A = this chain, B = another copy of it.
Amino acid sequence: MQNFDYYNPTHIIFGKGRIADLDKQVPANARVLITYGGGSVRKNGTLDEVKAALGQRHVLEFSGIEPNPAYETLLPAVELVRREKIDFLLAVGGGSVIDGTKFIAAAACYAGDPWEILTSHGAKVTGALPLGTVLTLPATGSEMNNGAVVTRKELKAKLPFLHPAVYPRFSVLDPTKTFTLPPRQIANGVVDAFVHVMEQYLTYPVNSPVQDRFAESLLQTLVEIGPQALANPQDYDIRANVMWTATLALNGLIACGVPQDWATHMIGHELTALYGMDHGQTLAVVLPAMMDERRQAKEAKLLQYGERVWGIREGSVAARIDAAIAKTREFFEAMGTKTRLADYGVGQDGVDQVIAQLQTHGMTALGETREVTPEVSRRVLERSL
């Protein structure tokens, strides 16, 4: 096992009816900015429930944070926070709203050009306003981690940043708030959580049996309940399990002491920035091709994954790995998420464009062993056409 640090101070408030707890969690004298997306939380009553829980506090709203939150969208919120002396941010939505709110929280405390927060991947963050979240879409894990991804549309650049100051103080996870999500969003969320686990699991063995088994626990559970979540949108327990699984998939726990990959995510980010593909769609396309391309470097873990998650115990090494990749692809397709670039209208010239953008963004030595050069990324993309 490798040395590691684990620190995660986010208070999770989980279950039916827990939005009422906001009254205990948000300081009584806070000047609160509620941030949200396209307005579904307004239509389905969640926003009213949040505001009722906040009672007499001074509350402003900022709406319109889009999927893959845009730098250009968020800067006016930073101005609003400063002008109105906001001292607490409350994100109500999914990972995009939460990520955007983390950026607002850090940018409001940053004296320089806020773009530096992203180009430094968080190294230049000097602090952040306190923030809490009310999660409505299980997927990204942002509700219990210190990361965020923001897109600068004019540059077609989708960049991550990390900083301990942006851990949410609390996150309210009420599974009933997911009942009205469109199937495509549930599918994207399940695929995203699945690939988060894979990026921390499918590397090389370091004698970490608990981390391996925890990762396999999350994968097995997503395989089991993902399709059920589509079929039974009002089933509380299924939605509760999807929600908690997605949170655990990226809260730092399964990363303790093990190498991490993230090449699939970095290539996926470029596909979203260039072609507007959903984040989950990009992962469903890239991961199976990445598994195939890196089958030698990842052989031991691919075999373990095949056996423990899919019960694949027979056949040659190559046949077992083929079967594990095929099962993964079938799972994504069963969730309704297509797994080929062609399904999204992206062809060979798209491959060239993604490689050029990876080079522009310095993504030239990806993966757990830094072996995913632009040439390797090209072969991955060509395998996914």
Asked if A40 is at the interface of the complex by the 8 Å CB criterion, the answer is no
Q: Which residues of A contact B (CB under 8 A)?
A: 1-18, 207-210, 213-214, 216-218, 220-221, 224-225, 237, 240-241, 244-245, 248, 253, 256-257
The interface residues of chain B lying within 8 Å CB-to-CB of A217 are 210, 213-214, 216-217
Q: Given A209-B221, A213-B217, A221-B209, A7 and B1 touching (CB < 8 A)?
A: no
Q: Is the CB of A241 within 8 A of B209?
A: yes
Q: Is the CB of B8 within 8 A of A3?
A: no
The interface residues of chain B lying within 8 Å CB-to-CB of A221 are 209-210, 213
Shortest C-beta distance, A96 to chain B (Å), equals: 24
* A-B contacts, 19 listed (Cβ < 8 Å): A1-B15, A1-B240, A5-B11, A7-B9, A7-B12, A8-B8, A8-B9, A15-B257, A209-B220, A209-B225, A209-B241, A210-B217, A210-B221, A210-B241, A210-B248, A214-B217, A217-B217, A240-B257, A253-B253
Shortest C-beta distance, A162 to chain B (Å), equals: 16
Which residue of B is nearest A242, CB measured? B210
The interface residues of chain B lying within 8 Å CB-to-CB of A15 are 1-4, 257
Shortest C-beta distance, A206 to chain B (Å), equals: 8
Q: Is the CB of A213 within 8 A of B209?
A: no
> Which of B16, B224, B244, B256 sits near A14, CB closer than 8 Å?
B256
The interface residues of chain B lying within 8 Å CB-to-CB of A13 are 5
The A interface is mostly helix, strand or loop, or mixed, namely mixed
The interface residues of chain B lying within 8 Å CB-to-CB of A224 are 209
Q: Is the CB of B245 within 8 A of A210?
A: yes
The interface residues of chain B lying within 8 Å CB-to-CB of A6 are 11-12, 14
Given contacts A207-B241, A209-B241, 6 further A-B contacts (CB under 8 A): A1-B240, A5-B11, A5-B12, A7-B11, A7-B12, A9-B9
Which residue of B is nearest A239, CB measured? B1
The interface residues of chain B lying within 8 Å CB-to-CB of A256 are 12, 14, 244
> Which of B4, B9, B208, B220 sits near A241, CB closer than 8 Å?
B208
> Which of B210, B216, B218, B225 sits near A244, CB closer than 8 Å?
B210
Shortest C-beta distance, A217 to chain B (Å), equals: 3
Q: Is the CB of B237 within 8 A of A207?
A: yes
Which residue of B is nearest A175, CB measured? B1
Shortest C-beta distance, A303 to chain B (Å), equals: 18
The interface residues of chain B lying within 8 Å CB-to-CB of A5 are 11-14
Q: Is the CB of A1 within 8 A of B207?
A: no
Which residue of B is nearest A245, CB measured? B210
Shortest C-beta distance, A215 to chain B (Å), equals: 9
Q: Is the CB of A257 within 8 A of B237?
A: no
The interface residues of chain B lying within 8 Å CB-to-CB of A17 are 3
The interface residues of chain B lying within 8 Å CB-to-CB of A7 are 9-12
The interface residues of chain B lying within 8 Å CB-to-CB of A209 are 220-221, 224-225, 241
CA–CA, A23 to B221, complex, Å?
41
The interface residues of chain B lying within 8 Å CB-to-CB of A245 are 210
The interface residues of chain B lying within 8 Å CB-to-CB of A2 are 15
Which residue of B is nearest A18, CB measured? B3
CA–CA, A48 to B15, complex, Å?
48
Give the interface centre of A10, A214, A248 by most chain B CB atoms within 10 Å.
A214
Q: Is the CB of B213 within 8 A of A257?
A: no
CA–CA, A12 to B1, complex, Å?
15
